[in-house]
């Protein structure tokens, strides 16, 4: 599904490697045998320790001298813009450039059953929960999330199973691709949380945000599933455009799956999950 797969590069260089997602991608590539290096203005824990544990060469600060013609595929973080000395050097050398999202689309998505988690709030938490559930079920998933789950060593993992779990961000992709990153991810299963106005630096208004999410839902195939946070009216309205099975979730027993009898205890929430068997039959 999605764009045609690209051959795995022998080498990759990530400009902006210190970000949560970019450092996660770096370790995923390294786990697949790619020789990975990268740079940033500065790199801090937990990304710095994760990259060091993976044996990845990290260079700080940015400098044109960091790149030569043998750098391989240059992956450009979405915070990098024209004027960055390493980006300018890569362009002068004619090195192949790609965004993080394009690398995911062309290297990781092919051959996987992709679950995306999108929405204004709760993406990282929900993605981490899904990664834990798949792992506990013995499915050996791959995942890339924008945080560090408490029960994994990093925010990315290269598993042997067919499942790939992606935190799906609506922010723009790269200096040369101003569309949202999640339009590269081609989900079989899409989880949609609440949709609100956010990222005012790239979206003019609520309508623009909604258009982006509507496009993401169009990527779900007819055989796929949309797991919808049905308590959110905007998400529910956008879901009407999906051409797939919809499983509703929320706090109301009228939904396919509902969290009921909720008890809040410090940083924990205890709840009974109602309707799982019903949702499975839907």
Digit-coded pLDDT (tens) for 217-274: 999 999 999 999 999 999 999 999 999 999 999 998 899 999 888 888 888 888 888 8
Is residue 272 domain-resident?
A: no
**Based on the domain organization, do 97 and 139 belong to the same domain?**
no
Which pLDDT score, from 0 to 100, does residue 270 have? 84
Token pair listed for 160: 């042997």
Residue partners of 92: CB distance under 8 A and separation at least 6: none
pTM confidence score: 0.93
Which one is predicted more confidently, 280 or 197? Answer: 197
Asked if 209 and 190 touch (Cβ cutoff 8 Å), the reply is: no
The tens digit of pLDDT for each residue in 83-115 reads: 999 999 999 999 999 999 999 999 999 999 999
Any bridge partners for residue 163, and if so which?
113
Q: Give me the number of domains the chain comprises.
A: 2
Whether the pLDDT of residue 276 is over 80: the answer is no
pLDDT of residue 280: 63
> In whole angstroms, what is the distance from residue 100 CA to residue 228 CA?
26
At residue 12, the 3 state secondary structure works out as: strand
CATH number reported for the structural domain that contains residue 203 in this entry: 3.40.1190.10
The parent domain of residue 196 ranges over: 109-250
116 and 15 within one domain: no
Q: Is 256 among the domain residues?
A: no
Whole-number mean pLDDT of the chain? 94
Average pLDDT over residues 153-163: 92
pLDDT higher than threshold 80 for residue 41: yes
Q: What is the pLDDT of residue 5?
A: 77
**Averaged pLDDT, 36-56:** 95
């Amino acid at each position: 599904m999605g764009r045609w797969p690209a051959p795995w590069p022998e080498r990759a260089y990530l400009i902006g490697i210190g970000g949560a997602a970019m450092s996660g991608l770096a370790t995923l590539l390294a786990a697949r045998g790619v020789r990975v290096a990268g740079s940033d203005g500065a790199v801090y824990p937990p990304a710095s320790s994760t990259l060091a544990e993976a044996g990845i060469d990290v260079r700080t600060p940015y400098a044109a001298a960091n790149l030569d013609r043998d750098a391989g595929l240059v992956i450009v973080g979405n915070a990098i813009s024209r004027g960055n000395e390493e980006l300018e050097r890569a362009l002068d050398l004619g090195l192949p450039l790609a965004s993080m999202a394009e690398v995911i689309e062309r290297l990781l998505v092919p051959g996987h059953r992709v679950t995306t988690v999108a929405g204004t709030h709760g993406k990282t938490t929900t993605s981490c929960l899904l990664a834990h559930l798949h792992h506990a079920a013995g499915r050996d998933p791959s995942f890339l999330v924008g945080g560090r789950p408490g029960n994994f060593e990093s925010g990315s993992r290269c598993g042997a199973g067919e499942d790939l779990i992606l935190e799906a961000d609506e922010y723009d992709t790269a200096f040369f691709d101003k569309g949202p990153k999640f339009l590269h991810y081609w989900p079989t299963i899409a989880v949609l949380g609440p949709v609100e106005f956010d990222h005012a630096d790239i979206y003019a208004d609520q309508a623009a945000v909604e258009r982006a999410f509507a496009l993401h839902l169009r990527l779900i195939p007819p055989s796929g599933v949309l797991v919808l946070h049905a308590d959110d009216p905007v998400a529910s309205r956008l879901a009407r455009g999906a051409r797939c099975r919809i499983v509703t979730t929320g706090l109301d027993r009228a939904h396919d799956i509902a969290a009921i009898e909720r008890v809040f205890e410090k940083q924990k929430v205890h709840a009974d999950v109602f309707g799982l068997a019903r949702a499975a039959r839907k």
